[in-house]
Amino acid sequence: MYDLHCHSTASDGRLSPGELVALAAENGVTTLALTDHDTVDGLAPAASAAAVYGIALVAGVEISVSWRRRTLHIVGLAFDPADPFLAAGLAGLQAERGRRAARMAEKLEKIGLADALARAQAMAGDGHIARPHFARLLVADGLCPDTNQAFRRYLKPGRPGHVCAEWVELEAAIGWIRGADGIAVLAHPFGYRFSGAWRRRAVAAFAEAGGQALEICTGSSDPAQESTAAEDARRHGLLASVGSDFHAREQAWLRLGRLRRPAADLRTVWQDSKFGPLHG
């Protein structure tokens, strides 16, 4: 069983890389890709744990991309994590995350979230600050009833705690992944709240820029969305990928490793010659 999209404490997940691998093994996952936002820091500890639990760990990352004033997420799979161009690119995105976090903290302090930056950094630990850290602080301080409300009221575009980040261009992100011998996947095509026209435009732009695969089945996709995504993949000759986007056990509707299989006529990323485990 494959799960090729999930998060650890290296970004905005709640389990350490080792805990995540243990849960994957418990859930029957045989091949796991850890895909933290804009970092590969969790891969080495995940690979050590995978060796203990007897599952295959595939190198992964989820890169934040700015595309036509929107954000897209590009998952990289089975690349060389030591590739210097990829590493430099990710370092740039982490610096942008840091700058954005400082600006968000300033705005959130104005609406009553005390000491926002230091507390978000303490919560992120060695990992990188993402919006869910601020969402959890807003809930902890009683400013919002739950993290979903925190996003809706404060953290989404147009809300008082939102700051536009300058992520990387689509072509560059795909170039980093392909340059490191990996497979570039457009993540969760139904996760952007795009209209059908915008989703099709994004898939076309991704394929045009050299992207190789589309995430067909995710932890929150329904069968109708999966068949629409399969159509998109066929139209552009993209491989199929699957990944839960697991972040935390608290996401009760979603389980690490619980995914439907993509339509049988689609070629999958794991059938590609570039696909294989990381030797950690």
What is the binding site for Mn ion (CB under 5 A)?
12, 62, 73, 187, 245
Does the footprint of ligand AMP cover residue 148 (CB under 6 A)? yes
Q: Which amino acid is at 49?
A: A
| Cβ at position 139, least distance to ligand AMP in Å | 11
Q: Output the six-digit token pair for 126.
A: 């060695």
154, 138 contact by CB (below 8 A): yes
Q: Which does 147 bind (CB under 5 to 8 A by kind): Mn ion, ligand AMP, none?
A: ligand AMP
Binding ligand AMP by CB under 6 A: which of 119, 131, 136, 178?
Answer: 131
Q: Which does 128 bind (CB under 5 to 8 A by kind): Mn ion, ligand AMP, none?
A: none
Nearer to ligand AMP, 152 or 235 (CB): 152
Binding ligand AMP by CB under 6 A: which of 60, 81, 132, 211?
Answer: 132
Please list every residue from 45 through 64 that binds ligand AMP, using CB under 6 A: 64
Q: How far apart are CA 146 and CA 140, in angstroms?
A: 9
Q: What are phi and psi of 143, to 5 degrees?
A: -80, -20
Q: Which amino acid is at 165?
A: A
158, 249 contact by CB (below 8 A): no
Q: Which does 148 bind (CB under 5 to 8 A by kind): Mn ion, ligand AMP, none?
A: ligand AMP
177, 211 contact by CB (below 8 A): no
| Cβ at position 263, least distance to ligand AMP in Å | 26
Put residue 38 in one of left, alpha, beta given phi > 0 → left and psi -120 to 50 → alpha: left
Q: Which does 3 bind (CB under 5 to 8 A by kind): ligand AMP, Mn ion, none?
A: none
- List Cβ neighbours of 83 (8 Å cut-off, separation of 6 or more): 176, 179, 180, 181
Q: How far apart are CA 99 and CA 176, in angstroms?
A: 22
Does the footprint of ligand AMP cover residue 9 (CB under 6 A)? no
Tell how strand 2-3 and strand 31-33 pair up.
Answer: parallel
Binding ligand AMP by CB under 6 A: which of 31, 147, 228, 268?
Answer: 147
Does the footprint of ligand AMP cover residue 186 (CB under 6 A)? no
The continuous run of DSSP H or E covering 213 comes out as strand 213-218
Does the footprint of ligand AMP cover residue 247 (CB under 6 A)? yes
Q: Which does 232 bind (CB under 5 to 8 A by kind): ligand AMP, Mn ion, none?
A: none
58, 33 contact by CB (below 8 A): yes
Does the footprint of ligand AMP cover residue 8 (CB under 6 A)? no
Q: Which stretches of the chain bind ligand AMP, using CB under 6 A?
A: 12, 37, 64, 130-132, 147-148, 151, 247
